Structure 1
Amino acid sequence: MTEKTRQPQIGPLPRPAISTSRLPATLTRVVWALWFVSVVVTAVRLSSTETWSLWGLFAVDGLTVVMWVVVTFFSGIVHSYSRRYMAGDSALSAFFARVFSFTLVVMALVASNSFVVFAVLWLTMGLVMSSLIGHVDTWPQARRAAATSRRYFVASSGLLAVALGLVWWETGATTISAVTASAVAPSVIVLTAAATLLLAAMVQSALLPFHTWLLSSMTAPTPASALMHAGFVNAGGILLLRFAPVVTVDDGFMLVIVVAGAVSALLGKLLKTVQTDVKGKLGCSTIGQMGFMFMQAGLGFFGAAITHLILHGFYKAYQFLSAGNNVEQQNPRAPNAEPQSLGLAGIAAILVTALAGGVVFATLTGEGTAFDSGLLLAGLVVLTTMHAARGVVRNSSLPAALRYGGVALVFLPAIAVYAWVYTLIEHALVGVPLVTAPTELTVVHLAVAAAFVFAYLAIESGVYQRSHRLYVTLVNATTPAPGTITTTREEYNEH
């Protein structure tokens, strides 16, 4: 059927069967009830210093209850949004069952204490997500994307199983709490376990070079993509925090985590610049943001990584669910509006705002006030504030008084709120052994900081755009797996 012969179907959505129509509403109410219960449990849990345990298989600490609140909130939003977005879908019940199952699996995962239970739930989480990616099973591209992601998730689970086996072999521990209680000493086996844990986390969080599955997952319904980018990819940060006694056993290995995160953070920004579709840009943005999360963990600030995880989840869920608002029809021959030049006043406003943002963050959190890895953490805040402030100053639609004089009044309170949330999350992680473990500054840290400054200047000045070879390399790096690309609108409309 071609576009010329296709008859537009305009009218009310088809009425689903009664058995189907009740399930979305029921599961939506259940998820919001779980969110309310999680809030109550969090209030009770944070008033106690003891860790609640269930048969040694599960343990509820501060991280558990915080993630319960976050996961059920995101899931509630997705459930509510999907009731309209997915209306009329022939597999509506299956979709809601998968989203609800994913919610329960993640809630159980963050409470897991047993190695075996954690590994099984990690694999289950991946399999459920791959089924959501391939939700439209009559669409060949969706089936191929699901198969691609499934291979990555099974590989991640295999790496996790190897890591847990090595930890058991070296320490005799079979639970996460036992690893925390034991003195983990650096050895070849422990470092191998730490390396496989890092690889498992990198695969799940779509860090380079394991990002292909994420860019191939655009066949997933938009609500599933929101759940994926706001929740699923964050599992890598949870894994690093849960096994912090293993990954922090050697300062050199912590540097490896920093470098791995920095590579994805920097290249994710570059990969985004060659994307032409909204979801592709958001996918590359997620790759970069997960790199920042890993960097924070590698610097020893696991509380900052969890804070980043939560705030990025809110931001990316909103971005995906509102992606349709970013689609515009424009005349390709119409001239693009030129951004306002910075000038001396603009440069001064940007630099003052960025430096003041770093001072505010360091003052309110205490990070960056000592000569350790906290300086790099504060430096990332300065660079992020500089980037955001530059966008405002160059926005010619805003009055000059706001662009130059009011930019600090907008961003400094935002930095203060971020610092407050960071401090709140750190205090909420009751019972978690290693929330903050800063390391000494090294040449590697300075090289990473220099790379960020260089990349920022290259991107903001547009110098990188002059290299055709770089452009081709970036396009090739963002090419999804074969068979997952929709080349014509007609292929999509058929499904």
Structure 2
Amino acid sequence: MNWSSLLPALLLSLVPVVLALGALFGIRQNPASAWRIAQGATLIAVVLSAALLGLGLLGMLPAVSAWWQSAPLNLIMLLLANFIGFVVVRYSATYLQGEPREQRFVGLVQAVFAAVSVTVLSNHLLLFLAAWLSISLAMHQLLMFYPQRPRAALAAHKKFLFARAAELCALTAFVLLYLHHGSAQITTIVGAYTTPGGALSASEQVAACLLGLAALIKCAQLPLHGWLIQVVEAPTPVSAALHGGVINLGGYLLLLFSPLLLQSTPAQALILVVAGISSVLAALTMMTRISIKVRLAWSTSAQMGLMLVEIALGLVELALLHLLAHSCYKAYAFLSSGEAVQQNLQRRQAPAARPTTIQWLVAGGLSIALVTGLAVLVRFTTDSSAFDAFSPWVLLTLALTALLAERRSQGTEGSGTAFFALAALIVTAYFGLKSLFSVLLPTPEHVPSLWADLWVSGLFIVLFVGYGLQRYGLHRRRLQALNTYFYAGFYLDEWVTKTTLRLWPHDLPSRIRAKQLQSASREVSL
């Protein structure tokens, strides 16, 4: 037996095994013991994930084995998932204390992150798909933590059906790739596309499009987004686990198969159109909502769309950076949503002062100067194609323009020098982090087509204009009417819900009213 090859595989297997054992032993204990076991198991998983990442970066782990792969992408995702799992468990131990089904929650949340660990490490198509299915089934049970809530039951029903559709797309794509390459090893399949070759066959084009469709469904892109907005009925830790560690796996799927995707023009077009439009509409709809958790859910749909667009443009290192930052931020935002309510009230009591035309022009000029300076610096320091797309520069310029123009709002008073320094720091961080992740995640040389760059840049401009109109133009009657449609999400979810329930009926629990609860409690007391 070759221990030098077996030991790394055992180390990689140890992370999901620890979480699975924690779930099995914890669910048999009393609640206090179950939480202690869960916290210990998730902490061990985090430490092991960090150690594996360190060993991987030092070149002390083989990148490929029969069932596992330990490239930087896999190990970074492993550490991210288990860090989110540890934070969620620590928070839930207090949040769910005394709940009648808390032991069930302890087991399910560990099962979710054990399956996530298998997914991000798997090097076999069947293992990947089985773990992906396990995540969805365990998450379905968490979303039904309060089964008596009609909205929670409806959201879980829709997610269950959409998840099966995404898995069917992935299964079909995997079968096509297996038949074409004669191998179920993910690294073997992806390795065939790392260097640009001839034109893809029809089966490869179909497989790429199906993978893109699976990612779009998993990432809750419009119009199949409604379940993500409605699952806020579940406990807050479930939302944190979903938004921080699970929903981004659609993006991970595309990151994993990005060499294939970047050689398929139809698949790129599918993602750029659907995810691009979804990102803009979801971001503008988010601005109309008041509920903190609902705003965060719309934000997740928008951010996932932007991440998929980045992958379709070939900016995989930027997409990975985006995925990590969004996961950590969204988990924190949900777990601190109580404080976010107070912060939102303070922000609404100190509305932004409307910038003048001169202030917008000055902010735009400064932003263009900053971004242009960075672009010149990039050309002198690197010849990587990671910076060739101009749409990210457009987005960075527009974001800095809004930041600098609104610097004199009542809630964010500060000197122009401080805000200019902050803008310069953002520009520097963008260059530094993007360069770092381009080293950690080597990708095939890919320059996005002109039409793709123009399309994405146009979407960013529409988002910028829509943001300005939402902030400062709602006194106009026509914009108020349009804003009503944005608030309703253009009624897309209503149409999808009716169609879904017509094709797959589902009995929903009746809404329990306060008077019914009061009468029931009186009967019990008598």
Taking structure 1 as the reference length, the TM-score comes to 0.85
Q: Which amino acid aligns with 2:95?
A: Y
Matched, 1:455 2:463: yes
Are 2:454 and 1:446 equivalent residues in the alignment?
A: yes
Distance 1:487 1:270 in 2: 31
Taking a change above 3 Å as real, the CA distance of residues 93 and 270 of structure 1, as seen in their structure-2 partners, is same
1:29 to 37, 40, 61: 40
Q: How does 1:455-494 map to 2 (within 5 A)?
A: 455-462=463-470, 463=473, 466=479, 468-469=481-482, 471-472=484-485, 474-475=487-488, 476-477=491-492, 481=497, 490=514
Within 1, Cα distance between the matches of 2:511 and 2:160? 23
What does residue 93 of structure 1 align with? 103
Distance in 1 (CA, whole Å) between partners of 2:344 and 2:174 is 53
Higher relative contact order (CA 8 A, sep 6+): 1
1:342-361, CA deviations, whole angstroms, 9 ceiling, x for partnerless residues? 23663255324533553466
| Alignment-derived partner of residue 396 in structure 2 | 381
The CA deviation string for residues 74-131 of structure 1, in whole angstroms up to 9 with x for no partner, is: 1111111111111111111111111111111111101111111111111111111121
**d(CA) in 2 for partners of 1:21, 1:213:** 32
1:8: which partner in 2? none
Q: Secondary structure at the match of 2:233?
A: coil
2:151 to 141, 145, 148: 141
Distance 1:453 1:127, change over 3 A: same
Q: Which amino acid aligns with 1:20?
A: P
- Residue identity in the other structure for 1:33: I
Worse overlay, 414-423 or 35-44: 414-423
Asked if 1:410 is matched to 2:390, the reply is: no
Q: Give, in whole Å, the separation in 1 of the partners of 2:78 and 2:51.
A: 11
Return the letter of the residue paired with 2:336: S
TM superposition shift of 1:299: 0.8
State how 1:256-271 maps to structure 2 within 5 Å. 256-271=270-285
**How many percent identity over aligned positions?**
22
1:231-310 aligned at under 5 Å gives the runs 231-310=245-324
The code of the aligned residue for 1:425 comes to: F
Would you say how many aligned residue pairs link Structure 1 and Structure 2? 469
Q: 1:67 Cα deviation (Å)?
A: 1.0
Verify: 1:358 aligned to 2:371, yes or no.
yes
1 CA distance for matches of 2:516 and 2:341?
Answer: 17
**1:394–1:424 Cα change, 3 Å:** same
Aligned to 2:356: 343
Residue of structure 1 equivalent to 2:163:
153
The 10-residue stretch of structure 1 (85-94 or 258-267) with the greater mean CA deviation from structure 2: 258-267
Aligned to 2:19: none
Q: Is the 1:357–1:385 contact (alpha carbons within 8 Å) kept by the matching residues of 2?
A: no
- Residue 83 (structure 1) aligned with residue 96 (structure 2): no
Unpaired segments of 5 or more residues in structure 1?
1-16
Q: Mark the CA change 1:34 to 1:348 in structure 2 (over 3 Å): closer, same or farther.
A: same
Q: Does the 8 A contact of 2:244 with 2:331 survive in 1?
A: yes
Q: CA deviation at 1:29?
A: 1.9
How many Å separate the matches in 2 of 1:99 and 1:43?
Answer: 26
Q: Answer whether contact 1:266 1:455 (CA < 8 A) is retained.
A: yes
Equivalents in 2 of 1:146, 1:101: separation in Å? 18
Whether the aligned pair in 2 keeps the contact of 1:264 and 1:290 (CA below 8 Å) is no
Is 1:191 aligned with 2:205? Answer: yes
What is the deviation of 1:59? 1.5
In structure 2, how many angstroms separate the alpha carbons of the residues matched to 1:254 and 1:491? 54
2:31 alignment partner AA: T
1:428, CA displacement in angstroms? 2.6
Runs of 5+ in structure 2 lacking a partner?
1-27, 499-506, 522-526
Equivalent of 2:125 in 96, 104, 115: 115
Q: Which residue of 2 aligns with 1:204?
A: 218
Partner in structure 1 of residue 24 of structure 2: none
Query: 1:34-113 residue pairs with structure 2 within 5 A?
Result: 34-48=45-59, 51-54=62-65, 56-113=66-123
Q: Deviations over 1:403-450 (max 9, x none)?
A: 533211123213323433333333233xxxx63543244134213312
Instruction: Return the alpha-carbon distance in structure 1 between the equivalents of residues 460 and 182 of structure 2.
Output: 41
What SS does the aligned partner of 1:59 have?
Answer: coil
Does the Cα contact within 8 Å between 2:285 and 2:486 map onto a contact in 1? no
Q: Scaled by the length of structure 2, what TM-score is found? A: 0.80
1:131 is aligned to 2:141: yes
CA distance in 1, matches of 2:72, 2:80: 12
Distance 2:182 2:479 in 1: 56
Q: Secondary structure at the match of 1:210?
A: coil
What pairs up with 1:318-333 in 2 under 5 angstroms?
Answer: 318-328=332-342
Q: Distance in 1 between matches of 2:38 and 2:163?
A: 26
**Residue number in structure 2 paired with 1:222:** 236
The answer (yes or no) to whether the contact 1:173–1:179 under 8 Å persists in 2 is yes
Could you say what the CA RMSD is over the residues aligned between the two structures, in angstroms?
Answer: 3.3
Q: Aligned-pair distance for 1:153?
A: 1.1
Stretch of structure 1 that moved more, 137-146 or 38-47: 137-146
Query: What SS class does the counterpart of residue 121 from structure 2 fall into?
Result: coil
Q: In structure 1, the residue corresponding to 2:222 is in which secondary structure?
A: coil
Aligned in 2, Cα 1:140/1:448: closer, same or farther, shift over 3 Å?
Answer: closer
Give the distance between the partners of 2:111 and 2:62, measured in 1 at CA.
Answer: 26
Change (3 A) 1:353 1:290: farther
User: What amino acid maps onto 1:195 in structure 2?
Assistant: C
More moved, 77-86 vs 257-266:
257-266
Q: Which residue of 2 aligns with 1:169?
A: 179
2:30 aligned partner, one-letter code? S
Deviation track 1:245-290 (CA, whole Å, cap 9, x = no partner) reads 3212234532432223211221111221332311111111111111
For residues 457 and 368 of structure 1, the distance between their equivalents in structure 2, rounded to whole angstroms, comes to 33
Q: Distance in 1 between matches of 2:344 and 2:261?
A: 50
Residue type at the aligned position of 2:123: N
Distance 2:374 2:269 in 1: 23
Q: 1:41 to 1:112 in 2, by over 3 A?
A: same
Question: Which stretch shows the higher mean deviation, 469-478 or 98-107?
Answer: 469-478
Q: Provide the rounded CA distance (Å) in 2 between the counterparts of 1:303 and 1:436.
A: 11
Distance 1:474 1:485 in 2: 27
Mapped to 1, the partners of 2:433 and 2:306 lie a distance apart of: 17
Tell me the amino acid that sits aligned with residue 153 of structure 1.
Answer: A
